Structure 1
Amino acid sequence: MNIDVINLGPMGNCTYLLTEGSDAVLIDPAWDMNYLEHILSEKKLNLLAVFFTHGHFDHIKFSQDLLQKHHLQAFLEENDLVLSGLEPQFVHSYQGEQHLQIGPFKVHIIPTPGHTAGGVCLHIGNALFTGDTLFPGACGRVDLPSSNPRQMRQSLVKLSKLPEDTQIFAGHAYGGKCSSTIGYERLKNPFMRNAIRDEERL
């Protein structure tokens, strides 16, 4: 599986293009659909699915045009439907953990509420697409509508139990980087370390 990191928009967003042969999946496409269409066309890719890690506008903005053109419904956890502003016909909603086979892609959807009620991480191969749940050295904000600090701590603990070599790809390139590993974050990320420590005290 090949992973292209595409930085789009004024908020440092990371859109991810996953490809296996001519098959493709997009994660959190936002801001510039013309550019994404150009890439899909240039590489002669067949877009099989679109996934959103959560419903905030900066991860979804203008994506409805892409969905309409490709006759797709995006996968979005149902708790973030209202937050997303997407019209219902463009959304395939679901609840809780999911295991999906999308063409050659095995997708494990892991619920990770905290930043939003419907936040998820997408585990595909050895890659974990964390949206705004986990960043290199940080975690997502928990002071927004539908955020929950306790749920964020629980989500960070859940992610910490994944294999150490799991490669994470975050929703923003804060600090100039969007990727790390679970093992590194367990050791160096103060938010994950504190969440693990609090869990161990219970």
Structure 2
Amino acid sequence: MNIDVINLGPMDNCIYLVSEGQDALLIDPAWDMNFLEHTLQEKGLRLLAVFFTHGHFDHVKFAQDLLEKHRLKGYMEKNDVILSGIDAHMLNAYSGEQTFDVGPFRVEIIPTPGHTAGGVCIKIGNALFTGDTLFPGACGRVDLPSSDPREMRRSLVKLSKLPEDTQIFAGHSYGGKCSSTIGYERVKNPFMRNAIRDAEAL
């Protein structure tokens, strides 16, 4: 499995192109659909599905154009459908933990509310696409509509229980870095450390 990190937009977004052979998935495509189309064509890839970690505009901007062109429905947790602004008929809305088999990919959905009510992390093999839930050294904002700091703490504790070698790929390259491992974040990320500490104190 190959993972291409595509940085687009004014907010340091990390868009992920996951491929196996000629089959591909896009995670959180936004901002420049022409560039994404060119990348798919240049690599000779067939887009099978689009997944969203959450519905904030900077992770979905212009994505409906891509879905319509490829005659696909995107996958999004139901609580973020309205937030996204994407027409509901263009989305496969789901709830809770899910596993989707798409071509050669087994896509596991881990609900991680906190940044938004419908925030999820997307696990494919040993790669975990964390959107705005978990960043290297940080976590997503919890002062926005539909955010919840208690839910964020619970989500961080949940992620901390994944295998240490799980590779994380965040939704933004804040500080120039978008990837890390669960093991590293468990030790070095103050937000995850504090969430674990609070959970253990209960």
TM-score normalised by the chain length of structure 1: 0.99
Provide the identity percentage. Answer: 77
Q: Provide the residue aligned with 2:72 in structure 1.
A: 72
The residue aligned with 1:56 is: 56
For structure 2, the 5+ residue unaligned runs are none
Runs of at least 4 residues off by over 6 Å: none
State the partner residue of 2:90. Answer: 90
> What is the TM-score of this pair, normalised by structure 2?
0.99
The equivalent of 1:149 in structure 2 is 149
Separation in 1 of the partners of 2:19 and 2:148?
34
Give a deviation string over 1:32-60, Cα, whole Å, max 9, x none.
00000001111111100000000000000
Pairwise CA distance, 1:100? 1.1
Shift in Å, 1:94: 0.3
Residue 11 of structure 1: how far off its partner (Å): 0.4
User: Helix, strand or coil: the match of 1:147?
Assistant: coil
Partner Cα separation in structure 2 for residue 61 and residue 151 of structure 1: 26
Q: Partners in 1 of 2:66 and 2:106 — Cα distance? A: 23
User: Residues 150-165 of structure 1 correspond to what in structure 2 (within 5 A)?
Assistant: 150-165=150-165
Deviation at 1:110, TM superposition (A): 0.2
C-alpha distance after superposition, 1:139-161 (max 9, x if no partner): 00000000000000000000000
Structure 1 counterpart of 2:150, one-letter code: R
Give the deviation of 1:88 after TM superposition: 1.5
Distance 2:174 2:60 in 1: 18
Q: What SS class does the counterpart of residue 10 from structure 2 fall into?
A: coil
Task: State the match for 1:40 in structure 2.
Answer: 40
Task: Quote the residue 1:117 is aligned against.
Answer: 117
Instruction: Render the CA deviation track for 1:56-90: whole Å, top value 9, x for unaligned.
Output: 00000001110000000000000001100001121
One-letter identity of the residue aligned with 2:75: F
**C-alpha distance in structure 1 between counterparts of 2:38 and 2:26, whole Å:** 14
Counterpart position of 1:166: 166
Aligned residues: 202
CA RMSD of superposed structures (Å) = 0.4
Aligned partners of 1:29, 1:165: CA distance in 2, in Å?
26
Query: 1:163 and 1:23 mapped to 2: Cα distance?
Result: 27
What is the DSSP-based 3-state SS (H/G/I as helix, E as strand, rest coil) of the residue aligned with 1:158? helix
